Amino acid sequence: MISRAVIRQVEPGNTANCAHCGAPIKFAARSQLRQVIANVYREGVWARVEHYHADCYDLAEQPYGPPVT
């Protein structure tokens, strides 16, 4: 299986940090911010989940391909 990314709204209570910039991915009620979540596989086995601000994922040159909506 290959690694893939999806784009989702940031949910209240999110505690993830961005894998690109290291800053927290924070919920903001009126902003409806988006995040990219990537399931990362190594040799066909799930290894970890990485979270990105949507803008940071683009700055990182979409390391896991275009995000699925």
Q: Which residue has the higher pLDDT, 46 or 1?
A: 46
For residue 26, the model assigns a pLDDT of: 93
| Backbone torsion region of residue 3, taken as left when φ is above 0, otherwise alpha when ψ lies between -120 and 50, otherwise beta | beta
Residue the block writes with tokens 């949910």: 11
For residue 1, the model assigns a pLDDT of 59
- pTM for the model stands at 0.88
Asked whether residue 2 carries a pLDDT value surpassing 80, the answer given is: no
Distance CA 44, CA 37 (A): 18
For the chain, the domains span 4-59
Q: What is the pLDDT of residues 4-56, one digit of tens each?
A: 899 999 999 999 999 999 999 999 888 889 999 999 999 889 999 999 999 99
